């Protein structure tokens, strides 16, 4: 056991180890964000579609699946943020000559922004889980949020989302968080290819475009929900 722990410690202590952790957790989060958005957009397909989707998540692996996903999400975000912070510090300490210091000034601004946007997104994920998952400080666990679905009483996800985003502070915080997520993803997705050693001088603009395109897709898709509900009164 100690040998495994020592190996993991040496792996994490190296810049390559941290880069791999940042890349792997980043890739996992990129996939999760897209899947989560697609699931959330079922709100526009009507109550039955999103309630069936929510019930499927709640009952997968006898109810354990959704908690495995939630804990995995928190772990991935936490590891991603911590490894990024440590990697940034390690890179700064390694730069000594004048040319490297100049590059550090440019890269550290992006890294600094990424760190703070990442921490804010982590705070948002915790809030989002408390608001819609643990349902703290609201009545989303009450009988008013139960509905019959194919003869079975299930949680009314549709009503919860409509009521949740009808509250201005929740919608505003969500939209702000999505703006930060856009900034994080647009830089992070293109950096992911660089971390994996796939970026060259020729294809760098392509990866940069892909980062902005993916981030824009996520921003528009996610923000369409609170905007439709809070501003245009969808579902009310």
Give the lowest-confidence range in 36-45, 130-139, 215-224.
130-139
Of 111 and 6, the structure prediction assigns the larger pLDDT to 6
Reported as a pLDDT band with limits 50, 70 and 90, residue 42 is very high
Higher pLDDT, 45 or 111: 45
- pLDDT score at 16: 82
3-state secondary structure the chain: CHHHHHHHHHHHHCHHHHHHHHHHHHHHHHHHHHHHHHHHHHHHHCHHHHHHHHHHHHHHHHHHHHHHHHHHHHHHHHHHHHHHHHHHHHHHHHCCCHHHHHHHHHHHHHHHHHHHHHHHHHHHHHHHHHHHHCCCCCCCCCHHHEEEECCEEEECHHHHHHHHHHCHHHHHHHHHHHHHHHHHHHHHHHHHHHHCCCCCCCCHHHHHHHHHHHHHHHHHHHHHHHHHHHHCCCCC
Res 108 pLDDT > 50: no
104-108, 172-176, 189-193, 231-235: least confident range? 104-108
Please say if the pLDDT value at position 102 is more than 80: no
Q: Alpha-carbon distance 7 to 192, whole Å?
A: 25
What pLDDT score does 96 carry?
53
The per-residue pLDDT for 113 is: 66
pLDDT of residue 106: 45
Least confident of 64-68, 100-104, 176-180: 100-104
Residue 230 pairs in a beta bridge with: none
pTM, whole model, 2 decimals? 0.82
């Amino acid at each position: 056991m100690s040998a495994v722990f020592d190996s993991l410690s040496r792996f994490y202590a190296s810049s390559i180890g941290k880069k791999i952790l940042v890349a792997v957790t980043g890739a996992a989060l990129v996939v999760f964000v897209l899947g989560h958005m697609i699931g959330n957009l079922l709100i526009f397909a009507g109550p039955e579609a999103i309630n069936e989707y929510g019930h499927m998540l709640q009952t997968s692996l006898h109810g354990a699946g959704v908690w495995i996903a939630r804990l995995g999400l928190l772990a991935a975000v936490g590891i991603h943020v911590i490894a990024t912070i440590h990697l940034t510090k390690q890179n700064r300490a390694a730069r000594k000559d004048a040319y490297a210091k100049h590059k550090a000034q440019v890269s550290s601004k992006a890294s600094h922004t990424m760190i703070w946007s990442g921490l804010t997104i982590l705070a948002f994920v915790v809030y989002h889980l408390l608001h819609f998952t643990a349902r703290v400080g609201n009545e989303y666990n009450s009988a008013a949020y139960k509905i019959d679905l194919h003869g079975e009483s299930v949680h009314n996800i549709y009503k919860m989302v409509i009521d949740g985003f009808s509250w201005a502070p929740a919608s505003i915080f969500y939209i702000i968080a999505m703006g930060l997520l856009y900034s994080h993803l647009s830089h992070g997705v293109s950096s992911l290819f660089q971390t994996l050693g796939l970026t060259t001088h020729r294809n760098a603009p392509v990866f940069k475009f892909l980062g902005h395109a993916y981030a824009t897709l996520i921003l528009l898709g996610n923000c369409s929900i609170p905007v439709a509900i809070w501003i245009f009164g969808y579902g009310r």
